[in-house]
Amino acid sequence: MAVSPIYGITPFSLLDYKDYTSCIIWFARCNMKCLYCYNPEIVFGKGVYEYQYALDFLEKRKGLLDGVVLSGGECTVHTNFYQFVEDIKSKGFKVKIDTNGLRPFTIDRLITNDLVDFISLDFKTHKDDFYDLTGSQIFEQFERTLEILLESQILFEVRTTIHSELIRPRDFEKMLRFLEQKGYKQTYYLQPFRNGVGTVAELPPSVISDELKQMKSDDFEIIWRN
């Protein structure tokens, strides 16, 4: 029996898609298991809604919402995800996708067919630590997604969650050099790990050092989000 893809829907948000009123569709399951993941119940949980439930929800909100944020979990791993995005676009909504970048083919196809308006790409860490932090070996897939975004005209951002025990200044240095070498020129967003929330692994408190906070790139701006 097919497993339902959608864990839940946040009906209204002004924060997750800048300048647009949107809802957030949370997809169950993920192809990573990041140690600091805030959503273990989504990553390990079961979806309860089918695509049609979300499409019916959106049909009733035409003219009330500008956009739809597809988040999770990892939305791109689900069967028929492309068709689902096509159906959302046909209703006139803007689409933002939050992704860890492990499905470059899907992202490329959506961009090529003008089905996505904005992408937030999570840059978890540099290649050497990628498996330890995410449980995934395939850094190259993330790298390919970044290249696709850079080669396209799509609006996008790269962002990283920083836990001080998982990304130290020397790691962050490698990440900055990687982005520079790839030709990234846009704002790089950082979000400090929020202590005291449930995560995939038990972690010590995160304390971001001044050294890390002050690190810069000559090629792009770095902004910390709280």
Q: Which residues bind ligand SF4 (CB under 6 A)?
A: 30, 32-34, 37, 39, 43, 72-74, 100
Please check whether residue 78 is in contact with residue 104, taking contact to mean a CB–CB distance below 8 angstroms: no
Q: Closest distance between ligand SF4 and the C-beta of residue 73, in Å? A: 5
Give the CA distances from residue 190 to residues 114, 115, 216, in Å, rounded to whole numbers and listed in that order.
28, 27, 12
Distance CA 150, CA 21 (A): 26
Closer to ligand SF4 at the Cβ: 65 or 97? Answer: 97
Q: Closest distance between ligand SF4 and the C-beta of residue 205, in Å? A: 18
φ and ψ at residue 37, rounded to 5 degrees: -55, 130
Q: Closest distance between ligand SF4 and the C-beta of residue 87, in Å? A: 23
String of DSSP letters for 48-111: -B-HHHHHHHHHTTBTTBSEEEEEES-GGGSTTHHHHHHHHHHTT-EEEEEE-S--HHHHHHHH
Which residue do the tokens 């990573």 mark?
Answer: 32
Closest by CA to 157, choosing from 115, 112, 119, is 119
Closer to ligand SF4 at the Cβ: 41 or 59? Answer: 41
Closer to ligand SF4 at the Cβ: 159 or 174? Answer: 159
Q: Closest distance between ligand SF4 and the C-beta of residue 201, in Å? A: 10
Closer to ligand SF4 at the Cβ: 30 or 69? Answer: 30
Closer to ligand SF4 at the Cβ: 22 or 39? Answer: 39
Q: Closest distance between ligand SF4 and the C-beta of residue 62, in Å? A: 29
Q: Closest distance between ligand SF4 and the C-beta of residue 90, in Å? A: 27
Closer to ligand SF4 at the Cβ: 49 or 142? Answer: 142
Identify the H or E element spanning 122: strand 118-122
Closest by CA to 75, choosing from 7, 16, 20, 133, is 7
